[in-house]
């Protein structure tokens, strides 16, 4: 938002009280209740009344109190205003009405306000901000191409924090248009602009980092991951942005998990749970941690966390939910489908019952990603209950959406299920491609890529010793079977432990199970040549 003192086209120079300056700084810091408290205590000169009330209206708009926002703006109807102030009042009022339900009429009104701002001699930042709210409303209505044209067209007028906010919006528009490379570029440009702003709106920074976090974790874009790791520690999370803070922590945890850093990932998930503003975002954090624990074999603890999520959802009033909250429920359904098909089915029925309810501004209610969450949850439940044909159909549809969006990890998770069910090489090829991108991840381990990388380090003779160890044989038994000395087998065992990065036979066996390591089949004759280890292999379970 342009600062009133920096607005060029006012009727007279405006002298604002010092308390207004404090309120304005609190607004940029996301401290909405502080803004209202300061303004309520402020003795406002009549010449400053319009700017003070416009700031009050902005604050109520941010708090999603559209009714009070409208009342504040209606009271200004008969006040004397500059051209800039009049345009600001008009687009705030139109936006408030849009969010209250008068969408079609408000869209037309916002378009007229933008055209009116162009025809009048108003400040360029005011023109840009009017276009921002118009583009925001178009985006909410999924009129994505029109939103992009409006936002890009106004970018040349935008300055300072308004420019950073416009770049943020352009990023989210491109996400909805499934143009993720362009989205990432807009978000990064917004980060650079934010660093140059004379006055910094912490909410804009939080949204930019949130967008980068999602793209980095979902698309495995390492450049964006670097920006995320650099920016995340410096974000000031306002109370209203705690949900973004939770999601950023979850994304950082998922990136750490994909790097094989499980302890760090758990710390991020615990941070996300601790900072979550409500039940739904807490559930995201608990489910993410439960999924990690399941993948590393700690199924009991994972089950306990999922039961905690179930208890949390029992207290939820599902009559007023938005897209993010539906995603939380569908994520839970997918997580428990195999272990608890009955409760998963009940939760899926609940998700169906709220699926068509409308959502407020700034959600992805009509976004195909929500459909993908629903399809993968439905598919998993149907498979668990024995409806293979319909389950595969739903999972295929979910995979196609995730692949089109380039949400790599989500597509890979569904691809694993489809590969196990259909043995279609399309899914195997996709999994292998993702595994090569994240070679230290659970995906690489589960795909067999990690196992093949470890086994490639072993000599044929060491492979045969590994086979004996995995089959529970002692060193003496292995030496007897292979016709070697006990010292030779011990040396080869030490080499195997070193190449696997473990210190004992027990750790070796655990790692073999986690990697699903295939080793040469037993039955080779005494004294058989080491090169014969290239025979048939089996999986160690």
Residue 466 belongs to domain with CATH number:
1.10.10.10
- Per DSSP (E only), the strands in 446-540 are 518-520, 537-539
Number of H helices, E strands in the chain: 28, 2
- Same-domain pairing of 55 and 147: yes
Of the candidates 431, 337, 325, the one whose C-alpha atom is nearest the C-alpha of residue 377 is 337
- Is 190 inside a domain boundary? no
Give the tokens for residue 232.
Answer: 């995340």
Burial letters for 316-327: b for 16+ Cβ neighbours within 10 Å, e otherwise?
beeeebbbbbbb
- Is 172 inside a domain boundary? no
Domain count, the chain: 3
Contact in structure between 293 and 285 (CB atoms under 8 Å): no
CA distances from 118 to 48, 90, 126, 148, 249 (A): 25, 14, 10, 18, 42
Phi and psi torsions of 248, nearest 5°: -65, -45
Of the candidates 402, 404, 380, the one whose C-alpha atom is nearest the C-alpha of residue 391 is 380
- Same-domain pairing of 135 and 37: yes
- Same-domain pairing of 412 and 529: no
Torsion (CA) 234, 238, 244, 247 in degrees, nearest 10 = 70
Note the pLDDT of residue 174: 95
- Is 119 inside a domain boundary? yes
- Same-domain pairing of 16 and 91: yes
Q: What is the 3-state secondary structure (H, E, C) of 380-444?
A: HHHHHCCCHHHHHHHHHHHHHHHHHHCCHHHHHHHHHHHHHHHCCHHHHHHHHHHHHHCCCCHHH
pLDDT digits (tens, 9 = 90+) for 289-305: 999 999 988 989 999 99
| 3-state DSSP assignment of residue 496 | helix
- Same-domain pairing of 71 and 128: yes
Other C-beta atoms lying within 10 Å of the C-beta of residue 22: 15
Give the tokens for residue 291.
Answer: 């999924």
Give the tokens for residue 407.
Answer: 């949400």
Contact in structure between 44 and 81 (CB atoms under 8 Å): no
Establish how many alpha carbons lie within 13 A of residue 250's alpha carbon, considering only the half-sphere containing its beta carbon.
27
- Same-domain pairing of 3 and 147: yes
CA 237 from chain center: how many Å?
Answer: 16
Domain that holds residue 439: 317-447
d(CA 106, CA 134): 9
Note the pLDDT of residue 175: 92
- Same-domain pairing of 467 and 417: no
d(CA 401, CA 415): 12
Which residues, in sequence order, are CB contacts of 479 under 8 Å at separation 6+?
Answer: 485, 486, 488, 489
Contact in structure between 183 and 215 (CB atoms under 8 Å): yes
- Is 202 inside a domain boundary? no
- Same-domain pairing of 335 and 370: yes
Other C-beta atoms lying within 10 Å of the C-beta of residue 107: 19
Residue ending a domain, among 429, 447, 465, is 447
Surface-to-core class of residue 23, CB atoms within 10 Å of its CB (0-12 exposed, 13-18 middle, 19+ buried):
buried
d(CA 327, CA 375): 11
- Same-domain pairing of 407 and 465: no
- Is 231 inside a domain boundary? no
pLDDT digits (tens, 9 = 90+) for 306-343: 999 999 998 887 776 777 888 999 999 999 999 999 99
- Same-domain pairing of 440 and 503: no
Other C-beta atoms lying within 10 Å of the C-beta of residue 41: 9
Residue ending a domain, among 418, 447, 476, is 447
- Same-domain pairing of 9 and 135: yes
Report the run of H or E that residue 84 belongs to, with start and end: helix 83-100
- Is 198 inside a domain boundary? no
Q: Please, what sign has the CA dihedral across residues 530, 532, 537, 541?
A: negative
| 3-state DSSP assignment of residue 538 | strand
- Same-domain pairing of 370 and 461: no
Written as one string, the DSSP assignment of 178-215 is T-HHHHHHHHHHHHHHHHH-SS--HHHHHHHHHHHHHH
Residue 125, domain CATH: 1.25.40.10
Per-residue pLDDT of the chain (541 residues; tens, 9 = 90+): 665 544 433 333 445 667 888 999 999 999 999 999 999 887 766 667 899 999 999 999 999 999 999 999 999 988 899 999 999 999 999 999 999 988 999 999 999 999 999 888 889 999 999 999 999 999 999 899 999 999 999 999 999 999 999 999 999 999 999 899 999 999 999 999 999 998 899 999 999 999 999 999 999 999 999 999 999 999 999 888 899 999 999 999 999 999 999 999 999 999 999 999 888 899 999 999 999 999 988 989 999 999 999 999 988 877 767 778 889 999 999 999 999 999 999 999 988 887 544 443 334 445 688 889 999 999 999 999 999 999 999 999 999 999 999 999 999 999 999 998 998 999 989 999 999 999 889 898 888 766 676 777 888 888 889 989 988 899 999 999 999 999 999 999 999 998 888 888 888 887 777 666 665 444 433 333 333 333 333 333 2
- Is 359 inside a domain boundary? yes
- Is 426 inside a domain boundary? yes
Residue ending a domain, among 127, 158, 189, is 158
């Amino acid at each position: 938002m342009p600062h009133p003192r920096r607005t060029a086209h006012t009727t007279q120079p405006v002298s604002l009280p010092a308390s207004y300056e404090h309120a304005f700084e609190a607004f940029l810091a996301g401290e909405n209740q502080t803004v209202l408290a300061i303004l309520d205590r402020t003795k406002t000169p009549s010449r400053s009344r319009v700017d003070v009330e416009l700031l009050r209206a902005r604050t109520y708009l941010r708090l999603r109190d559209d009714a009070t926002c409208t009342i504040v703006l209606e009271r200004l109807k008969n006040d004397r205003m500059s051209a800039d102030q009049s345009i600001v009042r008009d687009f705030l009022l139109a936006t408030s009405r849009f969010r209250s339900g008068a969408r079609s009429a408000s869209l037309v009104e916002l378009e007229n306000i933008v055209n009116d701002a162009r025809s009048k001699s108003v400040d360029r930042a005011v023109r840009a901000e009017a276009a921002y709210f118009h583009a925001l409303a178009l985006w909410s209505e999924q009129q994505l191409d029109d939103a992009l044209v409006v936002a890009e067209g106004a970018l040349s007028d935008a300055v300072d924090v308004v420019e950073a906010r416009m770049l943020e919006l352009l990023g989210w528009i491109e996400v909805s248009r499934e143009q993720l490379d362009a989205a990432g570029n807009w978000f990064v440009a917004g980060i650079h602009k934010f660093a140059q702003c004379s006055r910094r709106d912490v909410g804009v920074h939080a949204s930019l980092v949130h967008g980068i976090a999602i793209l980095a974790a979902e698309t495995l874009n390492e450049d964006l991951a670097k920006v995320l790791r650099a920016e995340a520690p410096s974000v000031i999370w306002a109370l209203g942005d705690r949900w973004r803070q939770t999601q950023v922590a979850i994304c950082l945890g998922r990136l750490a998990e994909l790097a094989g850093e499980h302890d760090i990932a758990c710390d991020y998930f615990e941070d996300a749970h601790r900072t979550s503003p409500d039940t739904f975002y807490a559930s995201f954090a608990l489910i993410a941690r439960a999924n990690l624990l399941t993948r590393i074999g700690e199924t009991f603890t994972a089950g306990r966390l999922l039961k905690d999520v179930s208890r949390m959802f029992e207290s939820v009033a599902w009559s007023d939910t938005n897209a993010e909250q539906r995603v939380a429920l569908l994520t839970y359904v997918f997580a428990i489908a195999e272990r608890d098909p009955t409760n998963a089915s009940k939760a899926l029925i609940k998700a169906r019952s709220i699926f068509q309810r409308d959502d407020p501004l700034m959600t992805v209610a009509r976004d195909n990603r929500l459909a993908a969450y629903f399809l993968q949850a439905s598919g998993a439940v149907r498979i668990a209950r024995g409806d293979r044909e319909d389950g595969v159909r739903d999972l295929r549809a979910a995979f196609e959406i995730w692949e089109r969006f380039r949400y790599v990890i989500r597509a890979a998770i569904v691809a694993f299920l489809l590969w196990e069910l259909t043995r279609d090489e399309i899914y195997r090829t996709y999994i292998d491609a993702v595994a090569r991108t994240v070679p230290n991840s659970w995906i690489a381990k589960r795909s067999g890529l990690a196992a093949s990388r470890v086994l490639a380090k072993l000599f044929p003779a060491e492979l045969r010793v590994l086979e004996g160890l995995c089959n529970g044989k002692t060193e003496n038994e292995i030496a007897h079977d292979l016709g070697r000395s006990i010292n030779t087998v011990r040396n080869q065992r030490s080499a195997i432990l070193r190449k696997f990065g473990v210190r004992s036979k027990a750790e070796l066996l655990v790692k073999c199970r986690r990697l699903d390591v295939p080793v040469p089949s037993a039955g080779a004759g005494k004294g058989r040549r080491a090169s014969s280890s290239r025979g048939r292999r089996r999986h160690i379970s």
